[in-house]
Amino acid sequence: NAGVTQTPKFQVLKTGQSMTLQCAQDMNHEYMSWYRQDPGMGLRLIHYSVGAGITDQGEVPNGYNVSRSTTEDFPLRLLSAAPSQTSVYFCASSYLRTLENYGYTFGSGTRLTVV
C-alpha cells in the first residue's frame, strides 16, 4: 500500500543508547520531514529534506542526525538518547510543490521512551 511507513512503532531505550528510526515512502515525494509530538507542545520540526542528498535543520535538531541517500528513505538517528527525547515521532512527506493541493502524508508514528 502506498504511504509512509515508520518502524518501529514502539521503542524503549536506556539513556546513552543510540538508535535509528526508519521512514520510507513510495510516492516519489521530494519532501520528507521528521516531527516530534509532545503533550501540550503540538508538533515540532526536527529535520527535513527537499530531495536526495539535501537535508536541513528544523526547530529542534539537537541530538538528532538525518541523511537522505535515496528519495524513498529518510532515517532519523538518535546519537545518545536522553530522557528529554521521550516523545512520539512522526515522519511526513509531500510533493515539494504543495500548490498542487496535496497535503502532507504522515506515518503512523514511533512512540519512544528513554529511561
Contact (CB, 8 A) for 114 and 82: yes
The mark string for 8-47 relative to another protein (x by CB under 8 A, - otherwise) is -----------------------x-x-x----xxxxxx--
Which residue lies nearer to another protein by CB, 16 or 102?
A: 102
User: Which of 60-83 are b and which e, b meaning 16 or more Cβ less than 10 Å from the residue's Cβ?
Assistant: bbeebebbbeebbebbbebeebee
Minimal CA–CA distance to 78: which of 27, 14, 6, 25? 14
Number of residues that bind another protein (CB under 8 A): 29
Tell me 100's DSSP state: G
Task: Choose which of 61, 63, 86, 106 interacts with another protein (CB under 8 A).
Answer: 106
Query: What is residue 70's three-state secondary structure?
Result: coil
The mark string for 40-79 relative to another protein (x by CB under 8 A, - otherwise) is xxxxxx--x-x-----x-xx--------------------
Given the rule CB under 8 A, which residues bind another protein?
A: 31, 33, 35, 40-45, 48, 50, 56, 58-59, 90, 92, 94, 96, 98-99, 101-109
